[in-house]
Amino acid sequence: MSSDTCAYDYYDEVITTPLYLLLEKYPLSADYLANHRLHGIDLSKTLTDALTDEDIDALEEFGLDVDGLVLHFCKFLEAFTLSQTCDLGKIHSLTIIGGMDKSGVPENVSLTLHPGEIVSIVGPTGSGKSRLLEDIECMAQKDTPTMRQILINGLAPDDERRFDTGGKLVAQLSQTMNFVVDLTVREFLEMHAKSRMVSNVEEVVKRSFICANSLAGEKFTPDTKVTQLSGGQSRALMIADTALMSASPIILIDEIENAGIDRKEAIKLLAGNEKIILMSTHDPLLALRADRRIVIKNGGISKILVTSDEERESLDKIEKIDRVLLNLRNSLRRGDVISKDSVCEIKEESNEQL
C-alpha cells in the first residue's frame, strides 16, 4: 500500500472536522500550521474552508495549492499516528555474521546481541573498528568490503528497513560533530523533540539539557548557540539527545573517550534505556565495563571475549587511577604549574591503588 493511499485514510476526517478538534486529537498539528505560515487560520472551520480565507499565493512558497496542502497534511497525520503506535524498540536481537579480514581470511564468527547489552570494540588504530560500526549502521548484507551480514531478530532486513530515514534502527555518535544550523541549544532540542513527535516537549527538552550539562566538562546555557559548542559539549548534547529522545534501539559510538566528557556516566545513561550499545574504544575503563569485547585485527574479528569477574574486580583500581589522572588534567586546565613533587605524588598514589 502506498503512502498516498494511507494518507487518504485521514482525508474524510480532515475535510469534515473543525481544525480545533483536529488540534486536540493531533497536538503537533499546530506546528504543521505554523511551519506553513498558517498561524492565524480560523480554527472553527475545516482546513479546506479555512484555506479559502487565506492568501493562497503564500502556499506557492511550499509548492502547494489548497488540495495539495490538504493531502500533505493527511500525510503528516499519518506520520504522527505511526510514531505513536510503532515501537522501534521491539528489537529482540542483533546478529553479526562474520565475513573476512583485509587478507581475505574468513572471520568464522556469529555474535548475537540483545537489548541492554554493551559491547566494546578494541584493536590498534586503523585495524577496522570503525568499519565494523559502519557495517552495523548500514545493516550490511554481504555488500561491503568485509562481506559481513547483519541480522535483525534473526532475519535479514529488507531494503525498506535498511534505508528508511524516518525511523532508523541505528543511531551513530561519531568522533567529530560539527553543527551548521544557527540555533540555540534549546531550539535545537525542541526541533529534535518535535520531529520525533515527543508529546511532552518542554519536559524532555529540560531533561536533555540538564543531562548534557552533567556530562560536559565546561557548562553551557540553553541560549548558547550550537555552533559555539566545543567538541566535548557537542558530544554531550548528542548523547543526551540520543538517550532521552531517540527511538533507535541500537547505538553505535566511535571512541567516546576523545569527547572530553564524563564517559562513565554517558555509558550508564545510554545503557539504562535498554538499547544495544557497541562502542569502539582504546580506554580500558570503557572496554572492561562492557559485557563483551570484540577484538579487531587486520580488519577482521579475531576474538570475542566475555568480561570476566576478575576483570570487573580490577575496574575499581582502574577507576582510582583514572581519577588521579583526571585531577592532573584539571590542574592543567586551571593553569596550575605541574612540579616534580606533584608528579611524584601522583606516581605514589597510583602505586598505592595498584
Residue 340 to residue 249: CA distance in whole angstroms: 49
- CB atoms < 10 A from the CB of 322, how many? 17
Kind plus residue range of the DSSP H or E element containing 40 = none
Q: Would you give the distance in Å from CA 3 to the centre of its chain?
A: 26
The grid coordinates listed for 304 are 570475542
Write the DSSP assignment of 60-124 as a string of letters: GGGT--HHHHHHHHHHHHHHHHHHHH--TT----EEEE--B-TTS-B---EEEE-TT-EEEEE-S
Residue 83 to residue 153: CA distance in whole angstroms: 21
Name residue, grid cell 547489552.
117
- Beta-sheet strands, E only, within the chain: 94-97, 110-113, 118-122, 149-152, 170-173, 250-254, 276-280, 292-297, 300-306
Residue 35 to residue 29: CA distance in whole angstroms: 10
Residue 87 to residue 178: CA distance in whole angstroms: 30
Q: Would you give the distance in Å from CA 312 to the centre of its chain?
A: 27
Q: Identify the pLDDT of residue 86.
A: 46
Query: Residues in the chain with pLDDT < 70?
Result: 1-8, 39, 54-62, 79-89, 164-168, 174-181, 197, 199, 256-263, 272-273, 342-354
Q: Identify the pLDDT of residue 104.
A: 95
The grid coordinates listed for 102 are 583485509
Q: Identify the pLDDT of residue 190.
A: 86
Q: Identify the pLDDT of residue 6.
A: 52
- CB atoms < 10 A from the CB of 340, how many? 7
- Is 155 strand, coil or helix? strand
> Which residues share a beta bridge with 155?
152
Residue 302 to residue 281: CA distance in whole angstroms: 16
Q: Identify the pLDDT of residue 259.
A: 53
Kind plus residue range of the DSSP H or E element containing 314 = helix 309-334
> Which residues share a beta bridge with 225?
184
Asked if 68 and 62 count as a contact pair (C-beta separation under 8 A), the reply is no
- CB atoms < 10 A from the CB of 104, how many? 10
CA triple 317-320-323, angle to 5 deg: 155
Asked if 288 and 314 count as a contact pair (C-beta separation under 8 A), the reply is yes
**Helix and strand totals (H; E) in the chain:** 15, 9
pTM higher than the cut 0.75: no
Q: Identify the pLDDT of residue 175.
A: 58
What CATH number has the domain spanning 94-307? Answer: 3.40.50.300
- Is 260 strand, coil or helix? coil
Pairing label, strands 110-113, 94-97:
antiparallel
Specify the amino acid at residue 198.
Answer: V
* Domain residue ranges in the chain: 3-85, 94-307, 321-353
